[in-house]
Amino acid sequence: MEKIILDGKVVAQKIKENLAEKIVSLKENGIVPCLATVLVGNNSSSKTYVRMKGNACEKIGMKSIRIHLPEETKTTDLIQTINELNNDPAVHGILLQHPVPSHIDERLAFEAIDVKKDVDGVTSAGYGQTALGFGKYPSCTPAAIIKILKFYQIPIEGKHAVVIGRSPILGKPVSALLLNENATITTCHSKTLNLPSILKQADIVVAAVGKPKFILGDWLKKGAIILDAGYNEGNIGDIDYDSCYEVASAITPVPGGVGPVTIATLLQHTVESAEKHNR
């Protein structure tokens, strides 16, 4: 059985190449696509993610505004910052880096983002539109997973997809997107019983559980397609890569799988938002 390594760097590069022409066209009309990232506190991983997103913008000619608020920032102050970005016509996308410090009402802050600038699909309106099949900006990691499957021409329709994880910005929206592609979905989580027996039925597995090396190869059906959306300390995914590699017909590496496509999708959504502004 030929094994496919689902190389996200290749997919991300293709997305960025397609964006380059659009960015030039927008600039000719006086518009520079602009992503604003808001970071609260000093989480080292979050700092790294924000820096990566900002650098990715600048490399393809977009503008990046990086707002770093102190750890003690109150929910009301964070929402005021988001509202200022909502009202700034030069800003086309807003990303509030998750997680925020525990004293902040993260959901309230997410909901403050204008749905027209919600390029990471974190608002309830954005999620609802995604689930109903007409969302413009689905959450970027779920959207990246669909992009990878389509880029490698892996059939989704009629397949049994098992998603491990139910977070509002990953597990739930990727289940909705796969359902919209006519897959049959089982969404599993920390309360699921007999997870290995469920995974044995899966044609497509999306690992989004947030536990390093959690999913083992002997839990999987021979020939399953594995998409690892986990990113844990030490560049380790949510699957035990070596044992899953032996069983899978296609698999994403970590790093270099879903991650690069997530960032490219964020750039794409911001450019699309800028195009709507131009119209």
Active-site residue list: 53, 97, 120
State whether the Cα torsion 45-49-54-55 is positive or negative. Answer: positive
Token code pair at residue 120: 């990471």
Token code pair at residue 37: 């990232």
Task: Please state, in angstroms and as integers, the Cα–Cα distance from residue 82 to each residue in 40, 103, 113, 138, 272, following that order.
Answer: 12, 17, 6, 19, 20
Triad 167, 170, 175: Cα angle to 5°: 95
Burial-class residue 31 by CB neighbours within 10 Å (0-12, 13-18, 19+): middle
Report d(CA 94, CA 6) in Å as an integer: 29
Report d(CA 91, CA 84) in Å as an integer: 10
Report d(CA 6, CA 4) in Å as an integer: 6
Tell me if 195 sits within 8 A of 223, measured CB to CB.
no
